Each structure stands twice: as structure tokens, then as C-alpha cells.
Structure 1
Amino acid sequence: MAALAAAMSDASRMKILCALMDGRAWTATELSAVANIAASTTSSHLSRLVKANLVTCLSQGRHRYFRLYSSSIASLLENMMGVTFQASNPSRSKVPEELLKARTCYDHLAGEIAVKLYDSLVTNGWIENDGSDLTLQGKEKLLQLGIKLDAKTKRKKCCPCLDWSERKFHVGGFLGASLLNFFESHHWIEKVPGYREVIITPKGHQGLHRHFLIDI
């Protein structure tokens, strides 16, 4: 734990980790820009993060990309954001409204809309009350919608993830990732390149209301 904390105990490295929370793979050049540091310094920080298994490096041809090591690292960062947000007790007005409404939490949706989605799934009996698993009814309904649920994975099929800004749960696990993929592929949402912010499209407003009874 001390070694992990030491690897994260640098403002520039935390900027890099937070940037990777959007779920994409970034180049060292892009991360250098977002952290506002020199390329050589970025390379050193990335080596430290890779060695600590916080970040993984993907090679594609002559290009190298970096992303978070796993969803568990993303969950750790999201929890840290929640602790920081609560400890510093900032005014919500200082947080961009768009970020509060909807954002990515690595590979699933977070923010006010995501919390409403979680509450809707519980209320309609699509997931268990504790968010630990899908119900039979939920599996049928989501499959009818075209959301993939049968992939072989070691991840939890469904789990509650504490939202740092709402202080309530949103949907994590494989279901959370599947929902985000569905929303994006069906143009219910649009990701803002380089940011965690997510925009709900007019089609998304209609779909969320029709299928999940969510009013935005």
C-alpha cells in the first residue's frame, strides 16, 4: 500500500491518472500536454506508473499508448476523488455542471444521470436491491434492448460504484460497461474528446425516458 501510494504521490502523475479515467488509451505526447510537463518528464512518470501496475502500455505498430491497468484502479481513483471532494468540502457551484450531470468513470457512466439510471434499475426490479446482480427480468429486458450480457469475463457482472459527486451509487462492473457501450453506439451520448464529460443527445433523452423512465 505504501509503494502504491508513493507511485501516486505526485501532482503530475495524478493528472495523468485522472486523464486516463475517460477510458481511452492516450499517447505520451497527449498526456504530456494534459499534465503540462515536458515529454522527458512524462516518460519518467509513465515508467513509474507502469512499474506500479497503475498504468499499462499498449504497442500498436510504432506507436505506444497508455491506459489504466484495470477497472479496479479506476475504482480506486474514483473513491479517492470522493474522499478528496468530501474532505475539502468545495462548493458544488465550483464543479462544472456538465461534469456533475454525466461523465465517464473509466468504462462506465457516472454523475447525476448515472445515479438516476441505477435507481431506475433497482426500482423496476432489473437489478437486485444491493446492486450486486441482475434479476431474471432485468436480463430479459436488457437483452431485448440489445445490451450484451453474455460475455465471458472475470469482472463482476454488476456492482454498485459510489459516485463521488452524488454520494450515491451508479452501475459498475460488466453491466456498467455494456450500458455505456450501448449508449455510445446508439448515439444516446457523445463523449467530449480529452475530457470525462459526456453529453446526452436528444435521442438519448428520448431513450432514457422511454426505456428507463429517466427525465433529464
Structure 2
Amino acid sequence: MDVDEFWFLIEQSARETTSKETRLEWLHEQMVQRPAKEIVDFNAWMLTARRKIDTRLMWGAVRALYLDGSDDGFWYFQMWLVGLGRETFERVAREPDALVDVPAVRRLVVMARNRQTWTNDDWPTFESLDYVAMKAWEQATGKGYEELAEVLRSRGFESFAMPNPTDEAWELDNAEESARRLPRINRYMRELYDRRP
């Protein structure tokens, strides 16, 4: 499975379904029909995508937009961003400040500003997307997670259970530093919250 096929499956799963749960079911059905090598490939591409956005700058963007920002919240956000598709993902991976331009993000920010409750499908997290390959691997091969992890390690991939950013450290909750590093997000949030209801 090449990177184009990986993104095709991610995007097709969104087109074919109407909820996170049915999306996971659709992806699982697609994956269990494939050879074990392709299941590993899918997991490897997922890990590759996550590496691109597992940065403090992206984490700061999530926090500045009030989309959560806890350790596990940011971890699950990464999967949600992958789920938005290749074009959006690549644009935001290159420039985390562009997260403010993503329609799904703006919708959630405005909902939060207006004190509207997010449904499970609204939340900018998608933890279970991380388990698609593992579950398909177990069903297709009869082997467990450790065997999958070993194959991934042989390809140079280490699995983490929490964010592991390697970019420059900075205080994510420092308003001045956040405004300097993420000017568009901070400007948008100031304008949004300065408006009267």
C-alpha cells in the first residue's frame, strides 16, 4: 500500500459513512480483506502522518483554539486531523497556524463560543482511528499487537501512547509566545471573543 492508497481509504471512509463509528466499521471491512503486509503499511503511513504533526507548535495551535490540549486530547486530535483528509492535513502540517482556516475547526470554535455542546462526532478527537490496523491485523493474522509492533519496529517505527514532540520547546500557555508563533489563530480568537453575543 502506497501513501496515495492510504489517503484514498481515509477519504473514502468519510464519503461512505455518516459517523465516526460507521467510518471505523467501513475501514475495518476494507482492511481485513487485505494482505497482512498492507495492514502493516496502513499502520506505518498512519504513524508517518502523526510524526508530521506531533509538534509543540501544533499542540499550541490546538490549545490556542480551545480544542482541548491535554496530553491525551492532543494525541487523539492528531487522529482527527488525519481523518479530515490529505489536503487539509498537509496544509496544516506545513503551517499549524492554518488550523484556524479549517471549516470543521471554525465550526467547533464558534459552537464553543456560543456555549453549544459538541456531540461525540463533533469532538476534534478520533482515538479509535489509531486502532483500525491493529484490529484488522489481529483478525487477519490471528496474531496480537506485539507481533504487529515488532514488524513496525523492523521498519523503523516506534509506537507511542502520548505526544512525543521533538521540535523547539516553549510554554504553550504563554499568551505572548502563542501570539508570536501563531498570529492568525490568536487574532481570530481575540476577534471572536471580543464580539458581544
Q: TM-score scaled by structure 1?
A: 0.24
Instruction: Please identify which structure carries the higher helix content.
Output: 2
More strand per residue: 1 or 2? 1
Q: Which has the higher contact order (CA 8 A, sep 6+)?
A: 2
